[in-house]
């Protein structure tokens, strides 16, 4: 039985509560109402499968129209790196990031997209969107 052979082969998986939301900082946006579109992208986003601990690597793109706050980039880098060993589904990761950033920034709108590299013959793409109201 192949299943038994892999049952003990797991990597350490951290729970979602280690995601470092407290590190996120907002800075003032001096052009409210300007409909400025801000785009941040990293090809180094990684988390792990919550069942196997195998890594998911992807390109993460955050696009938003700020109201009166921007995310401070160093804090965003630390926040995203805190996902590194977290067991989280790909579809859940984009929603978690969206929720955390919307709570911090209260933007006009925001989209979080993740294009995951192929693993086991399947690549993935997940998008979460928010429109203020």
**53-57: Cβ within 8 A, 24+ apart:** 53/10, 53/11, 53/12, 53/13, 53/87, 54/11, 54/119, 56/90, 56/116, 56/117, 56/119, 56/124, 57/116, 57/117
Q: Would you please indicate which residues are annotated as catalytic (active-site) residues? A: 49, 56
């Amino acid at each position: 039985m192949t299943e038994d052979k892999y049952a003990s082969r797991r990597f350490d998986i951290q729970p979602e509560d280690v995601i470092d939301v407290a590190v996120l900082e907002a800075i003032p946006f001096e052009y409210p109402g300007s409909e400025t579109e801000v785009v941040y992208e990293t090809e180094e986003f990684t988390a792990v499968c919550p069942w196997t601990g195998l890594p998911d690597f992807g390109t993460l793109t955050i696009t938003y129209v700020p109201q009166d706050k921007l995310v401070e980039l160093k804090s965003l880098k630390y926040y995203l790196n805190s996902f590194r060993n977290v067991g989280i589904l790909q579809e859940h990761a984009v929603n978690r990031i969206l929720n955390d950033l919307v709570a911090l920034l209260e933007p006009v709108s925001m989209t979080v997209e993740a294009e995951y590299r192929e693993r086991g013959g399947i690549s993935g793409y997940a998008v979460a969107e928010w429109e203020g109201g």
